[in-house]
Amino acid sequence: MSPPSSSSGSSVLIVGSMAFDDLDLPTGPARNVVGGSATYASIAASFYAPVRIVAVVGDDFPNETLELLGARDVDCAGVERAKGKTFRWAGRYAQNLASRETLDTQLNVFADFRPKLPSHYGDSRIVLLGNIHPALQLEVLEKTKSPKLTIADTMNFWISGERPALLDVLAKVDVLVVNDEEIRQLSGDHNLRRAAAAVMKMGPKRLVVKRGDAGAMLFDEHGIFFSPAYPLENEVDPTGAGDTFAGAIAGYLARAERIDANTFRQALMIGAAAASYCVEGVGTTELVRVSRDHLSGRLRDLYALLDVDRA
């Protein structure tokens, strides 16, 4: 029997965007940066498990990126190449990287995207529904057979504009990954603990709340876990950090023998380690450069942040 990491039954299916980003960073402008939620998430997941992407790109999207993904055991059979331009996002970050504003969004080929799943994707163990229209997330869910675990990401835009479809997604997924502002918006409650309880009543049995450099919180029936963010000395570009976090979690869980409360807590630590590398470079530059050993080293440093012998 082959080890879990190479069997198809331990794969992660990721649907999301593949994009060009134009970034105004404190370190200067960066144009035509290859990004998108599926790109970041699949690179992160591929540290731990085989990945299958469902996405759409235009005829301007570089083959090199797809080849790079392929070399990382990311199956791009579900990446549709459509006539036209790839999805493009432009944003400007504050000097301290703590906030950003969207300058421009061009849907391009993403406007008419309908996810198509190659038949061999059907047995994926984990399904990660990246941040796209909830109706598309639902379509993907319906096309997967019986994943062990489904994880959804979303954003303020869908929470305010597509609430009924989003509630349909929430009723069907196991895990929701959102940031603190999104969970407040979704629940209508500013208190994170009450907000988490309200959102878990909408469906997901587990909830991951991202809080940027303050770390993340996992809510489930076993209680709350508080995972730290790695305190970086040089933050360069937070774009994709949330997708990287979710992708690494999905990859780690795909590989796990058992998905229990502790596995999930470990997965958040793994996610934080991967996300920290994402932030250290423009786009995916650092993320694709680091090795699994690097990641393990940073994970040790992250665990050290929680080291205390109880009195």
| Residue 266 beta carbon to a second copy: minimum distance, rounded to whole angstroms | 5
- The residue whose two tokens read 């994943």 is 147
Residue 48 or 121 with smaller CB distance to a second copy:
48
From the CB of 176, what's the least distance to a second copy, in Å?
A: 17
Query: Of the two residues 87 and 225, which places its CB atom closer to a second copy in the complex?
Result: 225
In the bound complex, what is the minimum distance in angstroms from residue 166's beta carbon to a second copy? 23
| Distance, CA of 192 to chain centre | 21
Q: Which is nearer to a second copy, 105 or 263 (CB)?
A: 263
Reading phi first (left if > 0) and then psi (alpha if -120 to 50, else beta), residue 203 is in left
Least gap, CB of 221 to a second copy (angstroms): 14
Residue 285 bridge partners (DSSP): none
Of 164 and 188, nearer to a second copy (C-beta) is 188
**In angstroms, what CA-CA distances link 286 with 51, 61, 278?**
19, 20, 6
Contact footprint for a second copy (CB under 8 A)? 95-96, 98, 190-194, 211, 213-215, 217, 223-226, 228, 231-235, 262, 265-266, 269, 303-311
| Least Cβ distance, residue 127 to a second copy (angstroms) | 23
Cβ nearer to a second copy, comparing 1 with 311: 311
Crossing angle of the two packed helices 180-187 and 192-200, in degrees rounded to 10: 60
Pairing, β 19-25 against β 87-93: parallel
Helix (H, G, I), strand (E, B) or coil at 168: helix
Which alpha helices (DSSP H) does 93-173 contain, by range?
A: 134-143, 156-161, 163-172
